Each structure stands twice: as C-alpha cells, then as structure tokens.
Copies of this chain bind each other. A is one copy, B any other.
C-alpha cells in the first residue's frame, strides 16, 4: 500500500461523425494495470470536440442524448469559429454540455460505480483519430 500514479492513452476513431461509446471496460483495464486499490482514475478526452460522461448503457438513451445536444447546440449555424475555416463549432459546444472528463472512484481494487453507471465517450467530430487520457492516482494494491 503505497502512493502511485499511472497514465495510459487510448486512441479512438469512430466510424460516424457523432457517436457514443461505452468505455467502462477500458477504465477497469487501466485500473488493473495501475494496480490501483483505492483512489481515482481520471478519464479525460484530449480533444475539444468530444466528451467523457457517465450515464446508462442504453442505445435508446444514447439516441436521445445525441438528439438533445443537437437541439441545444445545432450544427450548421453561422458560428464565428467557422471564420477560421473549421466547420465544427457545434461540436465545441456539445462537448461542454456533457463535460470532457470524469473521475472514476476506485475502492477495494475495483471501479466503485453504481449499478447503472457506465463511462462513455461522446464524439461530435469523429472519423479521425482522437486520444483519451487515463490517469490513476491513489494507493496501490
């Protein structure tokens, strides 16, 4: 039982521009590799047009979430950001609604999540490689 820090990176590439993917099993794999017994695993997207969030593993809900963020931060608007040549202003806003990082608690060498809590990656400007950072901090097994 000693203090440890451990880092991994994962590259994601979604087939669709907008997508939601459950990455909870990857978080647990990182936790195990870190030998973290008690502490946190930070899961943080390194790109500014994607999200990390916790919600239900339920494809109907994933569709609701994509519809909802499109309603509140629509694509195709005349965003000032597009003056730079980009066309993804909506993705920068959508990622704010859902958040860009989650701190997963770890207890007794396991992810300490509620029964329906699952960690998701939300992509709003996909079809290209993007990185997620995992950083474990706490006490080792």
Chain A contact residues: over half helix, strand or loop, or mixed? mixed
Contacts A46-B117, A139-B3; A112 near B133 (Cβ below 8 A)? yes
Judging by beta carbons under 8 Å apart, are B89 and A64 in contact? Answer: yes
Chain B hits for A40, CB < 8 A? 42, 135, 137
- Hey, what's the 0/1 contact readout for A28-44 against B, CB within 8 Å counting as 1? 00000000001110101
A96 to B99, CA, bound (A): 8
**Inter-chain pairs besides A39-B135, A97-B97, A112-B133, 7 sampled, C-beta below 8 Å:** A39-B137, A48-B117, A54-B100, A60-B80, A63-B80, A64-B93, A96-B98
Would you mind naming 16 contact pairs between A and B with Cβ atoms under 8 Å apart?
A5-B38, A42-B105, A46-B114, A46-B115, A48-B56, A48-B116, A56-B81, A58-B81, A60-B79, A60-B84, A64-B79, A64-B81, A65-B96, A67-B80, A96-B97, A101-B102
